[in-house]
Structure 1
Amino acid sequence: MSSGFDLIGKEKSIDQLNREASASDFWDDPSNAQRKMQQLGQLQQSVDSWREMQSRVADLLELTDLAIENSDDSLFDELTAESENVAADLARAEMQLTLSGPYDDRPAILTIHSGAGGTDSHDWVEMLLGMYAGWATKSKRPVQVLDTAYGDEAGLRTGTLEIGGPHAFGYLSAEVGVHRLVRMSPFDPARRRQTSFARVEVLPTALDDEGEVEIRPDDIKMDFFRSSGPGGQNVQKVASAVRITHLPTGLVVSCQTERSQHQNRDYALRILRARLLARREEERAEHLSQLRGERVSAEWGNQIRSYVLHPYKSVKDHRTDYQSGNTDAVLGGEIDEFIEAYLVTKLGG
C-alpha cells in the first residue's frame, strides 16, 4: 500500500522470529528471548494494521463499484464517511513510517522538571505527569513511574515515566521543551492568576542486554537515603532511596519511588543508561543532541506549548499553531493531535 512499507519483508521477518522462538534453547538467554519476542509483537502489530487497511480499502472500492453499477445514491453518505476515515487512518499509518530514526521505536524515558512558578510549578509537574500517563493508558501502552521527587508544599519537583509501545520515543520526542500553565492559583489566598513552567525531557531507553551502554561497577558511586514525601518529611524508616553518581561523567541519578532498595537501584540504572546513551550521541554529533532537544530554561519566552485555564480555556502549540479548547481532555491525555501536527511539520509534511 505504501512504497515505504515492505509488507512482504516484514512477514518474512515474522516467520524467521517464529522459527527461532520454537527452538528448544530459545529461552536459555532470557534477555535476548524477551527482546526478540517484543520485536515479534511489534512486527505482527504493524503487519496486522496494514493488512486491515488493505481489507478496508478493498471493501470500500467494492462498495463504490456496486453503487456505481446500480446507480445507488443512498450509499453516498456512507462511502464519503468511510473514505474520510480510511484517508485519516492511512495518513496516520504513513506518518509512522517516517519515524525511522535509530531510536524512534524504543520505549521512552520521560522526565518533567519544575521551572519558574514556585509551588504552582510543582503542581504543574504532577499535572503533566498525569497527562502523559493518561496518554499512555488511552493508547494501551505500558507505563511505569520510575521516580518522583516531591515539592516542598505540594506537587513534584521532578517526575519520571517509562512509556513503551510502538514508536514511543519517536512520538514523545515531539513533547520535548518547556510547557507553560496559566490559571488561577489554588495556592494563592488572593486567588490571583499565576503562570508556571515545566520542562519535558525525553530519552530513548538503552539496550543494556546488548551492552549498548557499559557501566562498570568501579565507575559508579552508590548512596542510600530515606525517601521523602510532600513537605520533605521522611516517609520510610529504612534507607531505600538510591542515588547513583557516574564518576567518569559526573552524571547523578536518584530514585525513591519504590519501597525496595533493589527496585530503586534498577530504575536509577535504567535512567542512567538512557542519559549516557544521549550523552554519547551528543559527543558523536558534536552539537546539542536531537534526542534531548535544545536545553532551555523553564521560564517565560521559551515555551513550546501553553495551557491556559483562566480567563479562557485553550491549549496552543506555538510551533504548529495547533490548538484545542478542550483543556480537560488534553490534560487527561488526549494529545495525539498535538504530537502528529508537530511531526508532520517537522518532517516537511
Structure 2
Amino acid sequence: MSAFIFKRAGNGSSLISQYSRTKTRALCFSQPLHSFLDSNQNSKVLDSGYSSILLKSLKKPRGSFWALQNSSFLGSQNQHSFHLNLKGWIWAGQFGTQAAIEPCTSDGLTVDGITGSKWTILEESESDWRSHAAATAQSIQVIKKRLQWKKLMVRLDMLSVELNKPDLWNDPVHAGKISREHGSLMGKIKEVKTFEQELLEHIDMIKLAREENDSELESESMKALLRMRRDSKDKELEALLAGEHDSCSCYIEVQAGAGGTESMDWAAMVMQMYQTWAQRRGYGVTVVDEMPGEIAGIKRATIKVDGEYAFGYAKAEVGVHRLVRISPFDSGKRRHTSFAAVAVIPILGDVSTHVQINESDLRIERFRAGGAGGQHVNTTESAVRIVHIPTGITATCQNERSQHQNKASAMAVLQSRLDQLEMAHQAQMNSQHTQSLTEISWGNQIRTYVLHPYRMVKDLRTNYEVSDPDSVLEGDLDDFILSYLSASLDKDDDEQ
C-alpha cells in the first residue's frame, strides 16, 4: 500500500504519490478537492514528515476524468493537504493516449513555460537549478523540432485509425508494417515525454526540498538536473538520426569523376577517408568491390559499413566531392581539380521490405579478379558480376577467394540497390539516399577540399569549414556530418 498526499490548488487538486525519489507517479484532478472527501476528512494526519514526496500533476484530455476505487482518505483539519492510503485507482471516461497528456509541475509549469520564462542559462559549473532546467528544456524543444513533433503526432493518429480497422490483418504484410511503424513512433514519443516528466519532477522536488529545508534532497535533485542537462545533448544528437532507415548499416560507394588519373587517385583518398571514419566510430568495414585505376587510385569501389546508425550518419556524405591541389602526377607541378562522387545505400534488416528478385531476371557473369590478388585469385574466374535485367542495375564482387562468396556478396549489394530504388520510387526520396553518379564534375559538388594555394575544407551546403584538411582526410568527419544533419532538419522545419 503506497502513501499519497492531496495538495490543494486554485483550480483543482493534485494527487501526489510517494515512491522513491527518482520513480514517482501522480495524477491531477480537475474536480474540487471536497468532492473526493467524505466522512474521514477530519481524521488525524498519520505522518507529516514526507520529505521525499514528489509533487507531480498531469493534464487530462478533455471530456475525461479520474475515479478512485477502494481508497481510504485521511485528512488534516485545515484541509490544505490530505494523506491517504490508496489501494487502487481506475481511469474512467474517455480513453486517451499518453501522447496526448502534457506533463507539468504541481503548480502547472510546463517545458514550454520554462523556455518562455527565458531563465538565464549559465555554465554547467554554476549550481543554479533554473539554469540547468532551462538548458534541458531548450534541448527538449530542439529534440521535438528535429523529430518534427507535429507531423509525428498527426502520423501517429493516422496509424491508430489504421490499426483499429477490423480488416487490417487481411493483409498481414501491410498490417505488420503499420504495427511496426506505430510502435516505433510511440516509442519515440514516450521517450521524450518521459524525459519531460523527469525534468519537471526534479523541479518539483527542489521546490519541495526548499520548503522543508531538506538540504540532502535539494543536493540530490541538483545533481539529477545537471545529469539531465548533459544527457539532453546526447538526446539532441539521437534526434538527428530519427529517419526510418537511419539505424541501418549501409554501403558506401565512391566513383572517380572528371580528371583522369587525378580523380582516380582522389577517389581512392575519399574511400580511405570513409574507411578510417567508420573504423574510428567502431563500425565494421568490409571492401565489397574495387576497380583499380590504370595508373593509380580507383575507378570505383564499394565498402560495407556495419554498425548502428551507420546510414544515418553516412547519408550526409552523398554527393560530389571536389579536390584542388598540386598534382603529384604532373611534372610541371601545376594545380589540378579532381572530382569523386559518393553514394550511400541503406541495408534494410527487415526482410519483409525487400524487393523480390526473380532468378530469371538475373544475368550472372564470371571473370578473373583484377588487382594484385594472389596466385589462386588471378588464375580462376572467381569474380562475379550480377546484372538485374529489368532495371539494368549491376553489382560486382571480386575480393573474396571463392566464386560462391563473391556471388553472395554481389547479391547482397544488388538487393540493397533495388531496395533503395524502390524506396526512391515510392517516397520520392532518391535525393536523400543517393545521387546520380553521372554528373561528377564542376558545379555539382557538395564539399571542396583545397590543399593549394591555401588549406581548407568547406561544405557548400552549410558553409561549415575547417582549416585542417589533413585531419578531415584522416576521417575526422563528424562535425561536417552533424552540421549538415542539423541544417537539413532546420530547413525542413522552416518549409512546413
TM-score, normalised via structure 1 length: 0.72
In angstroms, what is the RMSD of aligned CA positions?
A: 3.5
User: Partners in 2 of 1:139 and 1:298 — Cα distance?
Assistant: 28
Q: Aligned AA for 1:122?
A: M
Following superposition, the deviation at residue 294 of structure 1 comes to 5.9
| 1:134 aligns with one of 276, 289, 303 | 276
User: Partners in 1 of 2:327 and 2:228 — Cα distance?
Assistant: 44
Following superposition, the deviation at residue 295 of structure 1 comes to 5.6
Residue 241 of structure 2 is aligned to residue 108 of structure 1 = no
| 1:307 aligns with one of 410, 430, 449 | 449
Question: More displaced, 93-102 or 119-128?
Answer: 93-102
Following superposition, the deviation at residue 88 of structure 1 comes to 7.6
SS of the residue aligned with 1:147? Answer: strand
C-alpha change, 1:87 and 1:153, in structure 2 (3 Å) is farther
Q: Aligned AA for 1:97?
A: A
| 2:468 aligns with one of 299, 322, 326 | 326
Aligned 1:1-349 pairs, distance under 5 A: 2=140, 90-207=232-349, 209-210=351-352, 212-229=354-371, 236-285=378-427, 288-293=430-435, 297-348=439-490
Following superposition, the deviation at residue 86 of structure 1 comes to 8.7
C-alpha offsets along residues 286-313 of structure 1, whole Å, 9 cap, x if unaligned?
5745321466611111110011111121
Following superposition, the deviation at residue 125 of structure 1 comes to 1.0
Contact preservation (8 Å) 2:292, 2:299: yes
Contact preservation (8 Å) 1:172, 1:202: yes
C-alpha offsets along residues 91-144 of structure 1, whole Å, 9 cap, x if unaligned?
353132232222111001110010011101111111111111111111111111
Query: How many pairs are equivalent?
Result: 285
Residue of structure 1 in register with 2:170 after alignment: none
SS of the residue aligned with 1:236? Answer: helix
Contact preservation (8 Å) 2:362, 2:389: yes
Contact preservation (8 Å) 2:240, 2:486: no
User: Partners in 2 of 1:325 and 1:205 — Cα distance?
Assistant: 34
User: Partners in 2 of 1:190 and 1:155 — Cα distance?
Assistant: 20
SS of the residue aligned with 1:319? Answer: coil
Which structure: greater helix fraction?
1
SS of the residue aligned with 2:378? Answer: coil
SS of the residue aligned with 1:202? Answer: strand
**Structure showing greater relative contact order (alpha-carbon pairs closer than 8 Å, 6 or more residues apart):** 1
C-alpha change, 1:147 and 1:340, in structure 2 (3 Å) is same
C-alpha offsets along residues 2-30 of structure 1, whole Å, 9 cap, x if unaligned?
5769xxxxxxxxxxxxxxxxxxxxxxxxx
C-alpha change, 1:158 and 1:86, in structure 2 (3 Å) is farther
Identity %: 41
Detail structure 1 runs of 4+ shifted over 2 Å in the superposition.
1-5, 85-93, 206-211, 285-290, 293-296
Q: In structure 2, list runs of 5 or more residues that go unmatched.
A: 1-135, 148-186, 207-225, 492-496
TM-score, normalised via structure 2 length: 0.52
Report which of the two structures shows the higher radius of gyration computed on alpha carbons: 2
User: Partners in 1 of 2:271 and 2:426 — Cα distance?
Assistant: 31
Contact preservation (8 Å) 1:208, 1:214: no
Contact preservation (8 Å) 1:95, 1:344: no
C-alpha change, 1:87 and 1:329, in structure 2 (3 Å) is farther
Contact preservation (8 Å) 1:229, 1:235: no
Question: More displaced, 262-271 or 89-98?
Answer: 89-98
Following superposition, the deviation at residue 191 of structure 1 comes to 1.6
